[in-house]
Chain A
Amino acid sequence: MSARRKLVTGVAVLSAALTVAFFWALVAGRAHVPLSKLFHPDYAPLVTLRACRALLGIIVGAGLAVAGLILQAVLRNPLADPYVLGVSSGAGLGAAGAILSGLVVLGTWVIPGAAFAGAVLAILLVYALARVGKTVPVYTLLLAGVIVNAVASSLLIFLAHTAIARGRGLYSVMWWLLGSLQVLELWPVMAAGVAVGGGLLVTLFFTRDLNVLSIGEEPAAHLGLRVERTKKILFLVSSLMTGAAVAASGLIGFVGLIVPHAVRLVVGPDNRVLVPLCALAGGVFLVIADIIARTILPTGDLPIGVITAFLGGPFFIYLLRTHRRGGPK
């Protein structure tokens, strides 16, 4: 099948899946909303809340999946995910700091704001550490990411330890770190939507560059690519999308690693097809995971990160066993 055919078919299938998942998210929950009463005024507050939550799932899923895809291609590393360059630990530290310092009383903007600021600081630090002259070698960047992650994690554990000693705040920090699509206000959803939508739009102009970069920087340069400039733009875009997603929903794991791989297993490695399909698939995956997370226990929501890994893992193994093409045998 040609790349264009794959893209058209994939977009059609995944758009349909996304529509189904979205409406399922509106009706499913501890309080069931019959499909016939979906637009009934009595149900309006509940349905609106669920719609916002599903929308956030689509935004965050798309952002994390595309950010992971970009980093896997640019770092030429299949283990790369959106959190590998320190964005997550920076955001975690920011959020935990905001919760434990008591600044949260200033308003609901404090936690997402602090998380986003932490993410930006972490990525700037990683970038500064990795820079050699005008270039940013990918291995140095990965190492800098690992180190910043490690240092930030230790600080986070230190903060958690003080929270235990004081006997408060630990639960909020834990809940944030595990991630949730809970929507308290509309603006974080809109802010994340603008950041992820903008990032996705930019990425769509770089899909061929992603292909060329994934065969190596030297061959990419000989094909006429301005390698360092392109890398810089792509790192910036993936970091912003990740930072925005994390600020709005906490650290939802596994999406950014597994969705790109799963889609790649089915349609192949061409990023011109992968970028739009990963965005859609990430959204579908997270909306469904969230439905399960909030309906599986009669007592209350489960952290969505539990579901993404628990469902995503076996599904990925299934794809790996049935769709594998190429590779050493």
Chain B
Amino acid sequence: MNAIEVRDITCGYGGEPVLRGLSVDVPSGDFLGILGPNGSGKTTLLRAVTGVIGLDAGRVLLNGADVASLARREVARQVACVLQESAVSAGVGDLAFTVCEVVGMGRTPYLSRTGWETRHDREAVDRAMELAEVAHLSDRPVTELSGGERQRAFIAMALAQECDIILLDEPTSHLDIAHQMGILDLFAGLNADGGKTVVGVFHDLNLAAEYCGRILLLKDGQVAGLGTPDDVLTAETIEGIYGASVEVGPSPVTGRPHVFLKKS
């Protein structure tokens, strides 16, 4: 069963297509990394999957159902999205929401306009905060947290959506190496033990190689490669796509491919 099926989609902003006839299947339980140079359409692909951006052609199926035919709330019950930490603001001015309040917003797709959270909602929020390891920060305003802690709070918000599919848009950019590993370990665990389908956009090739089961390479809005990190992350492909000269060798720890820069 495919969690996500992207069928020949073309879409973009203001008439200029960013993705051109792109197709990809993501089986349920996959951990797929999306790589590609700036402007290659990585984030646009995530937006197309959640239906936040409309399609000029083609269609996207979520667990077999066409995204365009689903209500926005229904999509948000199936797919959660973790954005870059800087893409989420903390509230109006410097009066920030607390971690608990932000995570509670993850329940939005389940709540009626005037209803308050039920016990089930509060339990989902507590579970999400435990998983993302922010339970101890529950009553702290998000502006008081470090970048890494704040991103974990936003991750907890996405987990509170209780979706089978989790999309990541460069979730660890600007974070230190320990937070990068901690956050990706969390998603690796959710993928391996929780059966969640994870699709993430990455800038760091080595991070993607280390954590992803499969890699999708994009260039100019089209698929430039799809397969295991070993198959896809070769020196020729990377040079061809990014135009940077590199060498690729196995990591001494995991044996997965790692990219080394060839300075001129």
Measured CB to CB, the residues of A under 8 A from B are: 3-4, 72-73, 76-78, 133, 204-206, 208, 211-212, 214-216, 218-219, 221-226, 261, 264-265, 268-270, 272, 325-328
Contact among A4, A208, A219, A328 for B88, CB-based, below 8 A: A219
Q: Are A325 and B95 within 8 A (Cβ)? A: yes
- Count chain B CB atoms within 10 A of each CB in A223, A264, A272 and give the residue with the most: A223
Contact among A208, A261, A270 for B111, CB-based, below 8 A: A208
Q: Are B143 and A218 within 8 A (Cβ)? A: no
Known: A76-B92, A215-B91, A325-B141. A222 touches B113 (CB 8 A): no
Q: 18 pairs across A/B with beta carbons < 8 Å?
A: A76-B89, A78-B93, A78-B94, A205-B114, A215-B90, A222-B83, A223-B76, A224-B75, A224-B109, A225-B108, A265-B95, A269-B91, A269-B96, A270-B97, A325-B95, A327-B95, A327-B143, A328-B94
Give 7 nearest A-B pairs by CB, closest first: A326-B141, A224-B76, A327-B94, A78-B93, A224-B73, A224-B109, A222-B81
Q: Are A218 and B87 within 8 A (Cβ)? A: yes
- Count chain B CB atoms within 10 A of each CB in A3, A221, A325, A326 and give the residue with the most: A326
Kindly report which residue of chain A lies nearest to residue B46, judged by CB atoms. A222
Residue B101 interfacial (CB < 8 Å): yes
Residues of chain A with a CB closer than 8 A to B154's CB: 219
Known: A223-B76, A269-B91. A212 touches B105 (CB 8 A): yes
Shortest CB-to-CB span from B145 to chain A, Å, is 10
Kindly report which residue of chain A lies nearest to residue B75, judged by CB atoms. A224
B interface, how many residues as a size bin? 35 or more
Shortest CB-to-CB span from A312 to chain B, Å, is 17
Residues of chain B with a CB closer than 8 A to A211's CB: 97, 101, 105
Residue B161 interfacial (CB < 8 Å): yes
Residue B243 interfacial (CB < 8 Å): no
Kindly report which residue of chain A lies nearest to residue B50, judged by CB atoms. A222
Q: Are B94 and A219 within 8 A (Cβ)? A: no
Q: Are A222 and B95 within 8 A (Cβ)? A: no
Known: A208-B111, A212-B108. A269 touches B92 (CB 8 A): yes
Q: Are B14 and A223 within 8 A (Cβ)? A: no
Q: Are B95 and A326 within 8 A (Cβ)? A: yes
Known: A216-B89, A328-B143. A226 touches B72 (CB 8 A): yes
Q: Are B92 and A264 within 8 A (Cβ)? A: yes
For chain B residues 123-181, which have a beta carbon within 8 Å of chain A?
141-144, 154, 157, 161
Q: Are A224 and B114 within 8 A (Cβ)? A: no
Q: Mark B91-124, 1 if CB is under 8 A from A, else 0.
A: 1111111100110011011010110100000000
Beyond A211-B101, A219-B88, 4 additional pairs, beta carbon < 8 A? A204-B114, A215-B91, A222-B80, A325-B95
Q: Are A214 and B92 within 8 A (Cβ)? A: yes
Contact among A215, A216, A218, A222 for B76, CB-based, below 8 A: A222
Known: A224-B77, A270-B101, A327-B95. A208 touches B113 (CB 8 A): yes
Measured CB to CB, the residues of B under 8 A from A are: 14, 50, 52, 71-77, 79-81, 83, 87-98, 101-102, 105-106, 108-109, 111, 113-114, 116, 141-144, 154, 157, 161
- Alpha-carbon distance A208/B97, docked complex (angstroms): 13
Known: A215-B97, A269-B96, A326-B94. A223 touches B161 (CB 8 A): yes
- Alpha-carbon distance A272/B88, docked complex (angstroms): 20
Shortest CB-to-CB span from A326 to chain B, Å, is 3
Q: Are A327 and B72 within 8 A (Cβ)? A: no
Shortest CB-to-CB span from A5 to chain B, Å, is 11
Contact among A77, A204, A224, A327 for B108, CB-based, below 8 A: A224
Q: Are B72 and A224 within 8 A (Cβ)? A: yes
- Alpha-carbon distance A208/B114, docked complex (angstroms): 8
- Alpha-carbon distance A218/B76, docked complex (angstroms): 13
Shortest CB-to-CB span from B242 to chain A, Å, is 26
Residues of chain A with a CB closer than 8 A to B73's CB: 224
- Alpha-carbon distance A189/B113, docked complex (angstroms): 30
Residues of chain B with a CB closer than 8 A to A3's CB: 116
Known: A208-B108, A224-B75, A325-B141. A215 touches B95 (CB 8 A): no
Q: Are B94 and A223 within 8 A (Cβ)? A: no
Kindly report which residue of chain B lies nearest to residue A3, judged by CB atoms. B116
Residues of chain B with a CB closer than 8 A to A206's CB: 113
Residues of chain B with a CB closer than 8 A to A218's CB: 52, 83, 87-88
Kindly report which residue of chain A lies nearest to residue B97, judged by CB atoms. A269
Kindly report which residue of chain B lies nearest to residue A134, judged by CB atoms. B54
Shortest CB-to-CB span from B42 to chain A, Å, is 15
Residues of chain A with a CB closer than 8 A to B143's CB: 326-328
Kindly report which residue of chain A lies nearest to residue B111, judged by CB atoms. A208
Shortest CB-to-CB span from B175 to chain A, Å, is 18
Contact among B52, B77, B111, B144 for A221, CB-based, below 8 A: B52
Known: A221-B52, A223-B108. A216 touches B94 (CB 8 A): no
- Alpha-carbon distance A214/B108, docked complex (angstroms): 14
- Count chain B CB atoms within 10 A of each CB in A205, A208, A211, A328 and give the residue with the most: A208
- Count chain A CB atoms within 10 A of each CB in B72, B76, B83, B142 and give the residue with the most: B72
Residues of chain B with a CB closer than 8 A to A226's CB: 72
- Alpha-carbon distance A221/B81, docked complex (angstroms): 10
Kindly report which residue of chain A lies nearest to residue B144, judged by CB atoms. A326
Kindly report which residue of chain A lies nearest to residue B54, judged by CB atoms. A134
- Alpha-carbon distance A13/B141, docked complex (angstroms): 26
Q: Are B97 and A216 within 8 A (Cβ)? A: no
Residues of chain A with a CB closer than 8 A to B71's CB: 224
Residues of chain B with a CB closer than 8 A to A205's CB: 113-114
